[in-house]
Amino acid sequence: MKGQWLSFMRGSVRVRLVGGDSRIFLNAAGSNRIELWGIAYDREGRLSFWVSVPDFFSLRPLLRMAGSRPRVLERRGLPFKLGRLSRRKTFAGGLLFFVAALFALSTLVWDVQVHTDETVPEAEIRKAAAAEGIRPLQWSPRLPDATELAHRLARRLPDAAWVGVEKSGTRYVINVVRSNKPEVNKESGPSDLIAKADAVVTRIVAESGKPQVARNARVRKGETLISGQLGEAERVKLVASEGEVRGLVWYEYGIVSPLARSTNYYTGDSADRTYLVIGNRALQTSGYGQEPYTASNTFADWRTFKWGSWTLPFAILKEKEMAVEKRSERLTPDAAREAGLAQARAEALSAAGEDAVIKAEKILHEQTENGKVMIRVLFEIEQSIAVRRPIATDPKTQGE
């Protein structure tokens, strides 16, 4: 491939010798290290061959030595194409105008994509982006780099914890992650804290309201833990209960863990490809003729170019494709059981919520059958068990 590109850039001609002794010419060309290819004789014994344009001008003393004259039969390569363009000025001008127009259009912003969740409205993000110049038909060299744009957008979006800006050709992609601000307690009215599951209380701290249970008490789902009703008889005051109540909750899980599993491994075989990217178009320049892998992972490395503060509208993309082989691994029953238990622990803690802790676990049943380990396990987890329940009130009867 490299030789073909070099031959095209240098240009080549197909020449036929007229008269003289072709053998003397060939011996002289070999002695002077002049590369000839496509050498052939026609029915009349006349020699024809291909030679590069630079070497063609070195043939004159050799032709004089052999008593021959050259006749050019065919021309190929960039020098001759440029020569034809110079004779067709209108076409050449149109081609140059097309290239210039393509370059100008590739420096404009044509698309702005926004990736966000519902907490940060897309319209608000687009408005902030437009204020910073990220909008269609904007001349991209006028814009700062992606890092600076991300900082500016973050200042305009106070509800965003992180803002990322990525430029891909003529497209800008904005990624926004919301800020994890403390939630404002909207339950400002009178309320109780009740148990959300059957549990044994391990800790109870009432910041507002009256505790209804003690530590080590067994409670049922829906039972009041901290009451929002203070006082007695006619001197009753209703408040929003606040506090922390933790307890032991039991979770039972059924696990099926296979004794055989498949894992992907890199074989060490890889293939490299290089692309010239202009705008949204990519031209492969190396890595042709490679056999595809049955399974593989591909990694990309981008190299962009800048002129001062401007990012030029072309880049070099290098891809590395690494072959992957799937292998089967046989597990012992103990290893399969432990893998299943680890997955069950993760699911139980996820269901129990933040700050949950596994205090104990007990395997209720275990059986190995049909290449699988089947287990039933009981987890004892300490977690928050309080959930808010509003108190229905009558303004006429509510005490001070």
> Which band of pLDDT confidence, cut at 50, 70 and 90, is reported for residue 2?
very low
Domain 2-81 has CATH 3.40.190.10: no
Residue whose pair of structure tokens reads 């290089």 in the numeric block: 274
pLDDT of residue 359: 94
Q: How far apart are CA 103 and CA 74, in angstroms?
A: 34
User: Average pLDDT, whole number, for the chain?
Assistant: 84
Name the most confidently modeled range: 154-168, 241-255, 278-292: 241-255
101: left (phi over 0), alpha (psi -120 to 50) or beta: alpha
CATH class, range 111-178 = alpha beta
Interval 73-85 mean pLDDT: 78
State yes or no: pLDDT of 10 exceeds 70. Answer: yes
Read off the tokens for 88: 């067709």
Interval 49-73 mean pLDDT: 87
Interval 144-171 mean pLDDT: 85
Taken in order 384, 386, 388, 389, the sign of the CA dihedral is positive
State yes or no: pLDDT of 308 exceeds 80. Answer: no
For 20-57, the pLDDT digits (tens) are 888 888 888 888 888 888 888 888 888 999 888 888 88
CB proximity list for 66: less than 8 A, separation 6 or greater:
17, 20, 21, 22, 24, 25, 28
> Coil, strand, or helix at residue 114?
strand
Interval 374-382 mean pLDDT: 94
Interval 165-176 mean pLDDT: 86
What are the Cα distances from residue 167, in Å, to 107, 112, 141, 157?
Answer: 12, 10, 12, 20
Kind plus residue range of the DSSP H or E element containing 164: strand 160-168
As a whole number of Å, the CA-based R_g of the chain is: 39
State yes or no: pLDDT of 399 exceeds 50. Answer: no
> Which band of pLDDT confidence, cut at 50, 70 and 90, is reported for residue 107?
confident
